[in-house]
Amino acid sequence: MTTTVVTTKGQIVIPSRIRRKLNIKKGTRLYIEEKEQEIILRPVTAAYFEKISGILPTKGKLTKALLEERARDKKKEE
């Protein structure tokens, strides 16, 4: 089991082993879901969008738009 501490600003550190495994780098956005007594964090990546793309009847248009927007945001950050 891995633990972390919440700071006074509500921040946590994701251990490096987990960041490497999930390819979480500086600037990676995380989807946060509250489910009963759990907090679920998921990196927002192309794989994530591919996984959820079948939920909406947009035939992938929304996924493409979101990935393009993320690419523009990432380029601005650099």
Specify the pLDDT at position 1: 80
The structural domains of the chain, with segments of one domain joined by +, span 1-43, 45-78
* Vertex 54: Cα angle to 37 and 76 (nearest 5): 80
The neighbouring-strand residues paired with 38 are 35
Q: What is the pTM of this model?
A: 0.55
- Report DSSP letters for 24-70, one per residue: --TT--EEEEEETTEEEEEE--HHHHHHHGGGSTTTTHHHHHHHHHH
Mean pLDDT for back-to-back runs of 10 residues, the chain (78 residues): 92 94 90 92 77 64 82 83
Q: Which CATH class is domain 1-43?
A: mainly beta
Specify the pLDDT at position 70: 87
Specify the pLDDT at position 42: 87
